[in-house]
Amino acid sequence: MAAVQTAPKRTEYLNFWNKYSDKPTHESMLLNNNAHELEESDRADVVAALPDYTGKDVADIGSGIGRFTTLFSQKARKVISTDFIESFVNKNKERNASAKNIEFVVSDAAGLELEDASMDLVFTNWLFMYLSDSECVDFTLKALRWLRPGGYFKLRESCSEPSTGRRKGNAVHATDAANPTHYRYKSLYLLLLTNARFQDADGKWFKFEVEWGTSIPTYITLANNWRQVHWLAKKVEIPAPVNGEISTQEALLNAFSTSWPAEQVAFDALVSGDHVSWTHKIMAPQVSASLGATVLAYSPRVVDATAAVDTFALVDESTTTNFWTIELNPLAFRASNTKATEKRDQHQRFAWHANLQSAVTYLSVHNTGFDGFVGTELLSTATIDEVLSLKTVLNSKAQLLLLEPTSETTVNTDALKSAGFTIDLVEDVTTAAHDAINDQISQGTLKAKVAKGSLSASWTVIKATKP
């Protein structure tokens, strides 16, 4: 029987960080002897992803020697910068001696209290991995409370493994036994953010609307690591929670500690590695050379988890197409990033969004435009407005390749036509799709249990072009 995992005690986390208290350096902040190669670029990635904090009130919690405090102080109205290691706070003070708008506090984030609705940005960068499950839940609910409506919570964590990877190499700490850090699944943080609910003293309810989650580019490019993940969540008012929503702290903790990890394990057992999808068998032959250098992929996985674009198998390994894949399922987001890390496939990037509209909003700000789009279940799930908005992130002459489930024999391409796309091909591929699924099941490369929805749907391939 597996031993019951108990959270390290608060003193163990403190002892871990106290070992670095005489080294207030970038190497200690990144826990990496190669910090000089990563630090500046990593910081730039994080800052580029922040909402505008000009004239705002910012809390930088677990701020270390102040890698981000300095930047916040240059534009924010006020910055509260806290860490539980006094020498780090002292170094932070020294580095920012001329700034007049920073309040430095030596304090443990686990017991921290700030005024209700007093902050516009609560910023943490590698903090939750040093908090127990119940402290993570507690902090998330407090962040909801500390923020003003419309304010943002920015979270970044090492997921599943240290930032230096499983191989020790550049890690500054020697053994796992000396390290009480939690390398949680990225899905857990996402589910925690999306499920947290808070009721204020006036009886109003709030939650986080997670605008996006994605990997830090520097760690992908320089360290082949897709497991450095950050999220941006906005505090929004909501109607009172309805039955079935997680509204108590106890239920949230139970899910975070027990049921969500179990769901991820179950998902990974059925949909990971080579058991991901069957769609490449149908889509790959349709990929023309003109799919382009940068391609947006979209997989809402409504029919079932295997009805998704498999960007790893869609194009020949020799091609240089770069994929940006939008995942809506938190468990699939983790599985796809795991595959990219295992394959070290530099052509793959993934982002989690709540819906296509949210993805388009993010991409309009952060990307220059895609040459192509590949998607499953676009027309069956997206609104006409979403299909229209997709145009804003596609370059002219961009090619669309869609695989659509259809309950009737024809698929409705009206949304594409009204968005101005030219329809180049509509072809029923149901027989080929079912043959491909059954072949893979018999070869053991697809689990029948998860492909049920795909087997009971009819399928149509559509090709279209943006004018």
Interface positions with ligand SAM (CB under 6 A) = 13, 17, 29, 31, 62-64, 67, 83-85, 88, 108-110, 125-127, 130
Q: How far is the CB of 30 from ligand SAM (least distance, A)?
A: 7
286 SS3 class: helix
Of the pair 16, 205, the CB lying nearest ligand SAM is at: 16
With beta carbons less than 8 A apart as the criterion, state whether 454 and 304 touch.
yes
CA torsion 90→95→97→100, rounded to 10°? -100
Residue 88 CB, shortest distance to ligand SAM, in Å, is 5
Closest approach, Cβ 105 to ligand SAM, in A, equals 9
Buried b (16+ CB within 10 A) or exposed e, 126-153: bbbbbbbbbbbbbbbbbbbbbbeeebbb
Closer residue to ligand SAM, CB minimum distance, 63 or 164: 63
Contacts (Cβ under 8 Å, ≥6 apart) of 177: none
Q: Given the complex with ligand SAM, which of 130 and 152 has the nearer CB atom?
A: 130
Kindly state the smallest distance separating residue 64's Cβ from ligand SAM, in Å: 3
Considering the complex, state which of residue 60 and residue 120 has its C-beta at the smaller distance from ligand SAM: 60
Dist. CA 287–CA 306, nearest whole Å: 19
Closest separation between CB of residue 19 and ligand SAM, Å? 11
Q: How many CB atoms lie within 10 A of CB 117?
A: 16
Tokens of 256: 């975070």
- DSSP helix/strand/coil, 442: helix
Cα–Cα distance for residue pair 293/90, rounded to 1 Å: 48
Least distance (Å) from ligand SAM to the CB of residue 172? 10
CB of 4 to ligand SAM, least distance (A): 23
Assess contact for 394 and 415: CB atoms under 8 A. no
Q: Which is nearer to ligand SAM, 180 or 300 (CB)?
A: 180
Q: Name the residue type at position 259.
A: S
- Kindly give, in sequence order, each residue whose CB lies less than 8 Å from that of residue 414, ignoring residues fewer than 6 positions away: none
Q: Which is nearer to ligand SAM, 192 or 314 (CB)?
A: 192
CA distance 126 to 29: 9
- Give the DSSP per-residue string, 133-184: HHHHHHHHHHHHHHEEEEEEEEEEEE-SS-TT-SS-TTBSS--GGG------
Nearest distance in Å: CB 130, ligand SAM: 4
Shortest distance in whole angstroms from residue 192 CB to ligand SAM? 17
Residue in the shown chain whose Cβ atom is closest to ligand SAM: 64
- Toward ligand SAM, which CB reaches closer, 43 or 281? 43
Q: In sequence order, what are the residues at sequence separation of 6 or more whose Cβ sits closer than 8 angstroms to the Cβ of residue 21?
A: 85, 86, 87, 88
> Which lies closer to ligand SAM via its Cβ, residue 26 or residue 207?
26
Separation of alpha carbons 30 and 39, rounded Å:
7
Neighbours of 292 (CB within 10 A): 19
Rounded-to-integer distance, Cα 232 and Cα 209, Å: 9
31 or 114, CB closer to ligand SAM? Answer: 31
The distance of closest approach from Cβ of residue 60 to ligand SAM in the complex, given in angstroms and rounded to an integer, is 7
Q: What gap in Å lies between CA 256 and CA 136, rounded to an integer?
A: 9
Minimum distance from residue 392 beta carbon to ligand SAM (Å): 33
Q: Is the Cβ of residue 129 or residue 416 nearer to ligand SAM in the bound state?
A: 129
Residues β-bridged to residue 428: 460
Cβ proximity to ligand SAM: between 18 and 430 the closer is: 18
